[in-house]
């Protein structure tokens, strides 16, 4: 409310609405805000009662005295009080409405913040519970899930389904003449003429109707035939697709590598994650070792949110973000990688209903940008090899994911958030599809050397040359009983290097675990830091189980072909002769 200075004593007083009067609390004079009758301006008056029912007021502008009836002043005061009350009520209502609107906005923002926090917590729960939720909800993948379930349409004839109404004779034929009208001159003749014309028109309408009905029935039959042909095509497409899946399953059971790779690619594609990934997973299969190699695309560090929670600051009327501590983000990310790896292994083994796969090599890579160079990189953050016998006996519902991976002798990045890489147990490209199985027949034009037809000395030179190209100093010791190679090599690198025992065996069938045990014994006798066993065939699950956690590296035929091409530039093949016999002692 405005303040007015008392013209008598100069003190400031509340003037109400600016119309009417008030009593100065300092000098106890009556002060009025009225229009002066002389200067015609709204001025401040003060004065006191002069006589019967009158008040003499002095204009603060022109100093003229004005005499006002008390009744008039009371009426003015009453109106001023009414206006003041109305203004006060309106102001109060406006204030209440403003408060209500502010409260509604605050409540809306608070609800939005609560919704954001709920969504954030749900997402964090999903990241932290990927393994547990998968064990509860994931069903083992089956070939039947590859079969399409096309929804067959229903025939919809539309307007062709209903015949139109036939012509109504009553609209064409004249009504019969009755009563006196029938006796009028010429009435009968006129009726006969009208009847004849009506019958002609009715016949034409009926012929037109019959023609349209014939066309409708023909169109209906044509539409139904087209629908049935399309339906039969859809059904045949479904039958053919189901037959392809059945053929894929047959080839899978028979151990065909392409079928095995195709099936497990479908298994991995069916996995659903709460985050996006930069690329698809890759699968390779070594038939000699019944080993599946998976290059798994891991989530980037950015999938872990930077925000721990959202908060609404009421005093500022704004929403703020509470950052998640860096240590907590890194812990969540490390756990996430472990869970993703375990869930993938679980789903693959569970989906192998025929126990084709006896061991799995999993390399978990992440597609990201190196913050130091700005270049795209694809480092390996987790790598491990495990066998079916070991993995299926794990109680995944009770394990600590990181500890479980360590128990599986996995190599895990010491700092995955900083993209510190680890060396894969087996490079994905080493499972080369050029490995030729025993049943394959090569063209005579194939000029690649067959490792199984080399002389022992040629095979020795080949293996020693390979590892020399890989940076080792090799010293041939003796030819093994199977025409293979036994040698000692030296890795000249400081700290990481040392003495390495290498054995290469030309086998047609799977290398027995006894050969792996012998290599480990030789390595210990020689005081070597590492043992490498190379074969032209493959290994069983028992060999991988024995080598787990030991400084042993087992390379099968596909791996050997890759290393020869990659490091020595030799394109080779492996085709055991029909009369080849593996040494009995090493089986």
Q: Are residues 274 and 404 in the same domain?
A: yes
Domain that includes residue 216, residue range: 143-253
How many distinct structural domains can be found in the chain? 4
Q: Are residues 471 and 575 in the same domain?
A: yes
Q: Are residues 265 and 249 in the same domain?
A: no
Evaluate whether residue 420 is within a structural domain: yes
Evaluate whether residue 96 is within a structural domain: no
Domain boundary among 80, 102, 134: 80
Closest to 299 in 3D by CA, of 343, 260, 244, 353: 343
Q: With contact defined as beta carbons under 8 Å apart, do 490 and 468 qualify? A: no
Domain boundary among 235, 253, 271: 253
Evaluate whether residue 291 is within a structural domain: yes
Q: Are residues 242 and 268 in the same domain?
A: no
Give the SS3 label for residue 455: coil
Closest to 536 in 3D by CA, of 585, 472, 482: 482
Q: List, in sequence order, every residue forming a beta bridge with 504; answer none if it has no partner.
A: 485, 534
For the chain of 587 residues, list the mean pLDDT of each consecutive stretch of 10. 63 52 66 71 58 68 75 72 81 90 86 91 92 80 89 87 86 76 72 83 88 90 92 92 95 94 94 88 91 95 93 82 93 95 95 94 93 89 94 92 94 92 88 43 56 83 85 70 66 78 89 91 88 91 89 90 87 87 64
Evaluate whether residue 97 is within a structural domain: no
List the beta strands (DSSP E) in 418-523.
Answer: 472-479, 485-491, 498-505
Q: Are residues 277 and 216 in the same domain?
A: no
- Give the pTM: 0.71
Q: Are residues 267 and 290 in the same domain?
A: yes
Evaluate whether residue 129 is within a structural domain: no
Q: Are residues 282 and 396 in the same domain?
A: yes
Q: Are residues 55 and 172 in the same domain?
A: no
Evaluate whether residue 441 is within a structural domain: no
The tokens for 315 are 């005093």
Evaluate whether residue 374 is within a structural domain: yes
- Give the domain CATH number at 549: 3.40.1350.10
Q: List, in sequence order, every residue forming a beta bridge with 552; answer none if it has no partner.
A: 531
Q: Are residues 458 and 528 in the same domain?
A: yes
The tokens for 561 are 């072909």
pLDDT at 172: 83
The tokens for 440 are 């394959």
Cβ atoms within 10 Å of 173's Cβ, excluding its own: 15
Q: Are residues 273 and 235 in the same domain?
A: no
Q: Are residues 421 and 483 in the same domain?
A: no
Domain boundary among 80, 107, 130: 80
pLDDT at 435: 39
Q: Are residues 487 and 411 in the same domain?
A: no
Evaluate whether residue 132 is within a structural domain: no
């Amino acid at each position: 409310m405005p303040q007015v200075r008392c013209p008598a004593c100069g003190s400031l007083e509340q003037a109400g609405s600016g119309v009417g009067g008030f009593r100065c609390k300092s000098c106890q004079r009556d002060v009025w805000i009225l229009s002066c009758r002389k200067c015609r301006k709204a001025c401040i008056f003060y004065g006191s009662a002069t006589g019967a029912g009158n008040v003499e007021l002095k204009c603060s502008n022109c100093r003229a005295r004005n005499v006002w009836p008390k009744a008039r002043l009371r009426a003015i005061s009453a109106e001023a009080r009414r206006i003041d009350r109305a203004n006060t009520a309106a102001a109060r209502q406006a204030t209440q409405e403003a408060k209500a609107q502010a409260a509604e906005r605050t409540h809306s923002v608070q609800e939005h913040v609560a919704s954001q926090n709920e969504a954030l917590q749900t997402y964090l729960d999903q990241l932290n519970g990927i393994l547990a939720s998968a064990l509860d909800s994931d069903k083992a993948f089956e070939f039947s899930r590859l079969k399409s379930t096309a929804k067959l349409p229903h025939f919809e004839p539309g307007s062709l389904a209903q015949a139109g109404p036939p012509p109504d004779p009553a609209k064409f034929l004249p009504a019969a003449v009755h009563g006196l009208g029938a006796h009028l001159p010429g009435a009968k003749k006129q009726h006969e003429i009208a009847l004849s014309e009506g019958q002609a028109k009715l016949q034409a309408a009926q012929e037109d109707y019959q023609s349209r009905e014939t066309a409708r029935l023909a169109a209906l039959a044509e539409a139904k035939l087209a629908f049935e042909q399309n339906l039969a095509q859809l059904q045949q497409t479904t039958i053919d697709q189901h037959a392809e899946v059945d053929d894929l399953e047959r080839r899978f059971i028979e151990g065909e590598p392409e079928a095995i790779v195709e099936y497990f690619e479908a298994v991995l594609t069916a996995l659903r994650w709460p985050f996006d990934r930069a690329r698809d997973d890759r699968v390779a299969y070594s038939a000699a070792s019944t080993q599946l190699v998976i290059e798994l695309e891991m989530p980037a560090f950015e999938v872990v949110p930077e925000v721990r929670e959202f908060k609404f600051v009421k005093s500022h009327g704004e929403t703020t973000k509470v950052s998640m501590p860096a240590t907590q983000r890194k812990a969540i990310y490390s756990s996430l990688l472990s869970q993703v790896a375990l869930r993938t292994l679980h789903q693959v083994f569970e989906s192998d209903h025929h126990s084709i796969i006896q061991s799995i090599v999993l390399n978990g890579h992440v597609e990201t940008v190196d913050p130091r160079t700005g270049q795209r990189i694809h480092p390996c953050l987790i790598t491990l090899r495990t066998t079916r016998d070991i993995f299926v006996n794990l109680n995944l519902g009770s394990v600590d994911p990181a500890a479980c991976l360590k128990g599986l002798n996995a190599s895990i990045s010491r700092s995955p958030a900083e993209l510190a890489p680890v060396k894969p147990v087996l490079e994905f490209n080493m499972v080369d599809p050029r490995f030729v199985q025993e049943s394959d027949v090569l063209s005579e034009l194939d000029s690649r050397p067959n490792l199984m037809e080399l002389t022992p000395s040629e095979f020795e030179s080949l293996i020693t040359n390979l590892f020399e190209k890989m940076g080792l100093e090799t010293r041939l010791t003796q030819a093994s009983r199977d025409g293979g190679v036994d040698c000692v090599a030296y890795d000249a690198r400081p700290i990481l290097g040392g003495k390495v025992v290498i054995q290469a065996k030309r086998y047609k069938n799977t290398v027995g675990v006894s050969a792996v045990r012998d290599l480990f014994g030789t390595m210990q006798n020689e005081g070597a830091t590492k043992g490498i066993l190379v074969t032209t065939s493959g290994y069983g699950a028992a060999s991988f189980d024995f080598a787990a956690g030991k400084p042993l590296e087992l390379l099968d035929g596909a791996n050997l072909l890759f290393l020869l091409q990659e490091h020595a530039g030799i394109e080779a093949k492996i085709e055991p002769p029909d009369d080849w016999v593996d040494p009995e002692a090493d089986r």
